[in-house]
Amino acid sequence: MCGRFVSRTEAAMERSWDLIRPPVPFESYNVAPTRSVPVIRVGENGRECVLARWGLIPTWAKDRAIGYKTFNARLETAASKPVFRAAFKRRRCVFPVVGFYEWRRAGKSKQPMFIHAASGAQLALAGLWDRWVDASSGEVVESAAILTTAANAFMRAIHDRMPVILSDAQIAPWLARAEVQVGDTAGDGHDEEPGADVLCLGPCAEEMLAAYPVSARVNNARNDDPSNIEPLLADPASV
């Protein structure tokens, strides 16, 4: 799963997104579910970066409570699961992130790890979004979920799931709602040419990622500053 991440629109704009307008400034080193975060989607006039509540609330939901447990969508079932089905087909987005946190078991405790691109580039996480209207107040809430997949060999040492990380070549077809084929094994994110109009998604190549242990301060979402991603001097699992 993916339950915390780091997002900075200033850093995200290092990638060319061809947005129709500059994004709203945003910076957080400890994004937790229910927070409004930047996502990139295709709007009526082109690509736009908007804020969406992390935790997808489907259009048909009676209330927003469902969003507390829908911040992740499994790639293997999102196309058929009622809560995500319509969004998977028609409302896709990308979460631009600096990196994400996952907790690795270390003895009787869990050690938070910060996972990021080995190259230092930003990561593009595949996401889904939806629009819900509060029947009592008329408030319009846009929300989103991160797609997850089985862990690749690198991530399995930390957790059995990971976000679906899009390559540069996969971003456009993902946003254009290309047909998706789920990859069977961890690799480079694609199988042998599935077809010109088919996007094969799965775990990214293991050499794409790097990770290091960070302070347990990230366990509390109220701790939100750059020190969260400073490496620990010693990895608890190695001492």
CB atoms within 10 A of CB 204: 25
62 neighbors 112 (Cβ within 8 angstroms): no
Please identify which of the residues 2, 93, 200, 204 carries the catalytic annotation.
2
Instruction: Please confirm, yes or no, whether 230 is among the known catalytic residues.
Output: no
Amino acid at residue number 179: E
Concatenate the DSSP letters of all residues of 130-191 into one string.
Answer: EEEE-TTT--EEEEEEEEEEE--HHHHTT-SEEE-EEPHHHHHHHHTT-EEEE-SSSSSS--
What number of residues does the chain have?
A: 239
Amino acid at residue number 197: D
* Rounded Cα gap, residues 147 and 127, in angstroms: 5
Please identify which of the residues 49, 93, 102, 142 carries the catalytic annotation.
102
Sign (positive or negative) of CA dihedral 78, 80, 85, 88: positive
Q: What angle do CA 9, 155, 209 make, to 5 degrees?
A: 45
* Rounded Cα gap, residues 113 and 154, in angstroms: 13
Amino acid at residue number 211: A
Instruction: Please confirm, yes or no, whether 206 is among the known catalytic residues.
Output: no
Q: What SS3 class is residue 32?
A: coil
* Rounded Cα gap, residues 11 and 191, in angstroms: 30
Q: Give the active site residues.
A: 2, 102
